[in-house]
Amino acid sequence: MTAPLFELTNVHVSTPEGIEIVKGVDLVINAGEVHALMGPNGCGKSTLASALAGSPEYVITNGSVKLNGDDIADWDPDVRARAGLFLAFQYPHAIPGVSVRNFLQQAVQARTGNDVSTIEIYMSLSEWMETLGMDTAFMDRFLNEGFSGGEKKRNEILQMALLEPEMAILDETDSGLDIDALRIVADGVQAVRSKKPELGVLTITHYQRLLDHLQPDHVHIMNDGKIVRSGGMDLVATIEADGFDSFTGAST
């Protein structure tokens, strides 16, 4: 029997000071599936995403996090990334002095374990920048320095496209985007999925508009550090009509 692509079992996450934020999350994502995680501010969504990627700001205190059957909960962040776990940050950091092109050339080499030539990375960047509506001059700008909110989010999808992960976590990729930028980012995600159909996606969002583009296979509602309900797009319609209050105290 094939193991799920990504499986969380009773995952608890705390701050280094011992404050528990995520209080037992179970989640199974199979290859090729898109899952959406929604919930009010402060419920633990972004904390969970950061902890799954290995952020030192949080500690997984209990449970397992399996990628292709391997428990990665104790792996260093770079080891998780090389194994195929990708996180698109809600607030991407700037790296002055490092161009987008150089950053991605090094990142792709680390991910694949193979040398990547300058011309190879240029051709890949040019192809994906056209898909994402980005000027090719963008590749020689310093990573996220002076980028607009939309440029930062497109750059995150650009990274995902070139790194070809097994599992992608998109932490509020739609926040701060206007309608046109949102469509371009969503189309970019779908283009990456078309190239790699087995890619698993967990997108964290407050809003229906991104999900209208992505059409997730499963929607999960998080509240007070737990997933309290799982279902389909009908849950999103309920949220749009009644807000998250209707899920307070609900059970999965």
Predicted confidence at residue 32, as pLDDT, reads 97
Predicted confidence at residue 63, as pLDDT, reads 97
32 close to 218: Cβ distance less than 8 angstroms: no
Residues 6+ apart with CB under 8 A from 13: 20, 21, 22, 44, 47, 48, 51, 58, 59, 60, 61
Predicted confidence at residue 7, as pLDDT, reads 98
The model's pTM is 0.92
Where do the domains of the chain lie, and which CATH numbers do they carry? Answer: 6-90+165-247 (3.40.50.300)
Structure tokens at 5: 């692509």
39 close to 223: Cβ distance less than 8 angstroms: yes
Kindly report the CA angle at 243 between 240 and 248, in degrees rounded to 5? Answer: 140
Taking 50 as the pLDDT cut, the residues of the chain under it are: 252
Residue 172's SS3 state is coil
Predicted confidence at residue 252, as pLDDT, reads 46
Predicted confidence at residue 250, as pLDDT, reads 55
76 close to 55: Cβ distance less than 8 angstroms: no
